Amino acid sequence: MRLGRQGAAVPRKLGRPLASTHCILDIQPMHEVNLRGVDLNLMVLLDLLVEHRSVTAAAEAAHMSQPAMSRALGRLRALLRDPLLARGAQGLVPTPAAVAMQPALKRMLAEAAGLVARRRFDPAAWRGQVGIAATDHQTILLLPRLIRRLFAEAPLMELRVVPFQASRLDELRDGRLHLTFGILEQALPPGLRREALDEDRFVTLLRAGHPALSDWRVERFAALDHVLVTVLGEGRGAMDELLRAQGLSRRVALRLPHFYAAMAVVADSDLVVTLPASIARRHAAPLGLVAVEPPLAPPPFNTTMVWPEVLDADPGNAWLRGLVREEAARLAASA
């Protein structure tokens, strides 16, 4: 070891010190990966392992034995120099490196599938599970139509429907869910794409005989106790912004994640709720509710379909989005 001009220690293997030696960088050449020596089928198995978080479940999904999947996991660990899956409190948990690479992995696999797939997608041969998240609004209105088409045209497919909540966005973004549809006016995180399906408007529901029906002024409306249906967090409704512009505010006495639950509460109380006209047409009368135009009418809004960017090029997901688009258009026409 010897000292440079600034008194900094300089390893002999670096040779002559730089003219200014405030710091010395030992730059190593980047290791070049030879893809000819990599079994790309392992990437398919890695995707299954991270998604299922179980060697046994991933093996079943890949139609292979559990020992064979364990050997594949060992090869992946050696190739990627990371444990990939580690023991957690409730089974295997993906490592941060595995979680970080999953979106790119799914995008790569979808693009690779597109390269070798037949030009025409055959839904009748589509096997596997499709995950959809939906609000109860669209579960009631659109999902029955969609399921009828799916089971008729893709009889080998399995469908998993879960309620749409803010916590589902991560599942959607990494491709564990195929798509969602509902009233999604909020900004979405990166990695998701959206498309407007149809236009709807807001109406206010009150129980029949509610005293406010005889005095439907904006001041009386603001003074009522309101129910607010929230899906993505605790944000304010469109009505609040309109009232604020008039120098008014309302009391949101109850927040709920489900439209039908909100209507049931309003039917048995003096609370009121403002929600989509499409669901009011279906359920207001049977619940004994009266639908009226709000004193301040919020602008129309769109029912929206959202899907992961990693599945944008996937032929199955594209076909599924087409079905949703067609059934949403039929539903709008029938209304």
Q: Give pLDDT tens digits for 240-299.
A: 889 999 999 999 999 988 889 999 999 999 999 999 898 898 889 999 999 999 998 888
Residue that terminates a domain, selected from 72, 89, 116: 116
Pairing between strand 157-163 and 128-134? parallel
Compute CA distances 177 → 101, 119, 173, 222, 230, whole Å. 17, 24, 8, 39, 21
Q: Is the pLDDT of residue 39 over 80?
A: no
DSSP 185: -
20 belongs to a structural domain: yes
Asked whether residue 227 falls in the same domain as residue 151, the answer is no
Asked whether residue 107 falls in the same domain as residue 77, the answer is yes
Which residue's structure tokens are 């979405």? 188
Please report which confidence band the pLDDT of residue 314 belongs to, taking 50, 70 and 90 as the band edges: confident
How many angstroms separate the CA atoms of 106 and 108, rounded?
A: 5
Q: Considering only 15-24, 143-152, 163-172, which range has the smallest mean pLDDT?
A: 15-24
CATH of the domain at 87: 1.10.10.10
User: What percent of the chain is modeled with pLDDT above 70?
Assistant: 83
Asked whether residue 182 falls in the same domain as residue 100, the answer is no
| Amino acid identity for residue 318 in this structure | A
Residue that terminates a domain, selected from 116, 133, 166: 116
Pairing between strand 128-134 and 179-182? parallel
| pLDDT at site 209 | 93
218 belongs to a structural domain: yes
- Interacting residues of 207 by C-beta distance below 8 A, sequence separation 6+: 266, 267, 268, 269, 270, 288, 289, 290
33 belongs to a structural domain: no
Pick from 166, 209, 200, 161: which is nearest to 279 by CA?
A: 200
| pLDDT at site 238 | 77
How many angstroms separate the CA atoms of 291 and 92, rounded?
A: 51
Asked whether residue 294 falls in the same domain as residue 209, the answer is yes
Asked whether residue 85 falls in the same domain as residue 210, the answer is no
34 belongs to a structural domain: no
How many angstroms separate the CA atoms of 8 and 172, rounded?
A: 52
311 belongs to a structural domain: yes
Asked whether residue 214 falls in the same domain as residue 235, the answer is yes
Asked whether residue 212 falls in the same domain as residue 289, the answer is yes
Asked whether residue 260 falls in the same domain as residue 287, the answer is yes
Residue that terminates a domain, selected from 81, 116, 151: 116
CATH of the domain at 320: 3.40.190.10
Asked whether residue 311 falls in the same domain as residue 294, the answer is no
32 belongs to a structural domain: no
| Per-state percent for the chain, helix, strand, coil, to nearest 5 | 45, 20, 35
For residue 56 the two structure tokens come to 């046994």
137 belongs to a structural domain: yes
Q: pTM (2 decimals)?
A: 0.61
Total domains, the chain? 4
**203, containing H or E segment:** strand 202-207
55 belongs to a structural domain: yes
Q: Structural domain of residue 19, as residue ranges?
A: 1-27
| pLDDT at site 182 | 73
The answer to whether the CB of 179 falls within 8 A of the CB of 307 is yes
**Three-class DSSP category at 141:** helix
Asked whether residue 84 falls in the same domain as residue 226, the answer is no
| pLDDT at site 236 | 61
| pLDDT at site 14 | 38
Asked whether residue 47 falls in the same domain as residue 23, the answer is no
Asked whether residue 290 falls in the same domain as residue 219, the answer is yes
R_g of the chain, CA atoms, integer Å? 28
